[in-house]
Amino acid sequence: MIKKQLIMDKALELFAKQGFEATSVQQITEHCGISKGAFYLSFKSKNELILALIDQFMMQFLSDIDYLVKNTENKTLLYEFYQTLFDSFQRHTDFANIFLKEQMQTMNEKFMEKMYSFDKSLEQTILTIVERVYGGEIEKSKYDLMYCIKGFLDTYLRFLLFCEAPVDLKLLAQSLVEKTNILARYTTIPFISQGLAQMFKYPINKEATKEQILEIIDEKMEEMEESIEKESLVLLRQQLLEPAFTSLAIVKGLLENIRNHPHCKWISYLLRRYWEL
């Protein structure tokens, strides 16, 4: 059985050169050295493949940021957030480029649901950061601050995308921390209350169930070679089905083992949220 990841990696190379619309399934299969039948065993259509790539990009990003938030001290959290986000974006510039340029051509209900879910998760992460960094002093203005940070991200990410000169990401992160601090400390007229923020409707963003996580684990395990990451994933799967470890340190250690494996980033993120670690 052809691995999905192989198709995704090879398709991304073509999309980066030609764009979504200009790349056909035939070209993808030729680039992979497989038949069309093998392609359709993994993906029902090119649109499904594109959505899988978007999923992968968002999953890696959210899992990296979630890990950062849970493992960084408050005094450096905001800087590390900006630095990690811009670094991740720069490492995936090819995908970000074609995604921003061609997303309007891939608009459908599933795409919009994914984008709303991603945006909602990012908002919650930013709120967690500002609450930890600034505490009660921004209670009335934290939603305004969250939207300001989102505005910074959107503006400067686009600047990075189209800037042809090298960019000092450390300086950029320092600059945005300074701007955020000014807004947090000197805003006196908040606009967005919690009630108003909740009126900005999103599709329901449900947490993954145990059954859904198990399904993802089983799918990814089929694609993994024997390794310490796979062994750790087997133990985590058993822990999910029938808890055997009473020590959180053991579970956290197993999650740390799989965190950087390309097939396991999202699983690690889902398990951390499921167990509230």
pLDDT tens-place string over residues 179-237: 999 999 999 998 987 767 766 654 444 567 888 888 888 888 887 888 898 999 999 99
Residue 100 near residue 45, CB atoms below 8 Å: no
Identity of the residue numbered 104: M
pLDDT of residue 104: 45
pLDDT of residue 50: 83
pLDDT of residue 209: 83
pLDDT of residue 184: 95
Separation CA 260–CA 268 (nearest Å): 9
Using the predicted structure, report yes or no on whether residue 19 has a pLDDT greater than 80: no
Torsional class of 33: left (φ above 0), alpha (ψ -120 to 50), beta (otherwise): left
207, two tokens: 């947490």
Domain 1-44 class?
mainly alpha
Rounded to an integer, the average pLDDT of 263-269 is 83
pLDDT of residue 35: 87
Separation CA 66–CA 269 (nearest Å): 7
> Which among 117, 26, 121, 134 is positioned nearest to 75, based on CA atoms?
134
Kindly list the domain boundaries of the chain, sorted by start residue. 1-44, 46-198, 210-275
The CATH architecture of the domain made up of 46-198 is Orthogonal Bundle (1.10)
144, two tokens: 């305004």
pLDDT of residue 109: 65
pLDDT of residue 204: 42
Task: Give, to the nearest 10 degrees, the angle between helix 142-162 and helix 74-91.
Answer: 30
Rounded to an integer, the average pLDDT of 160-178 is 90
pLDDT of residue 144: 94
pLDDT mean across residues, the chain = 84
| Cα-based distances in Å from 126 to 63, 194, 204, 213, 266 | 14, 14, 19, 25, 19
Indicate the pLDDT class of residue 82, thresholds 50, 70 and 90: very high
Separation CA 40–CA 35 (nearest Å): 9
Residues 6 or more apart in contact with residue 239 via CB below 8 angstroms: 245, 251, 254
pLDDT of residue 175: 97
Rounded to an integer, the average pLDDT of 95-122 is 67
Identity of the residue numbered 40: Y
Residue 33 near residue 60, CB atoms below 8 Å: no
pLDDT of residue 1: 41
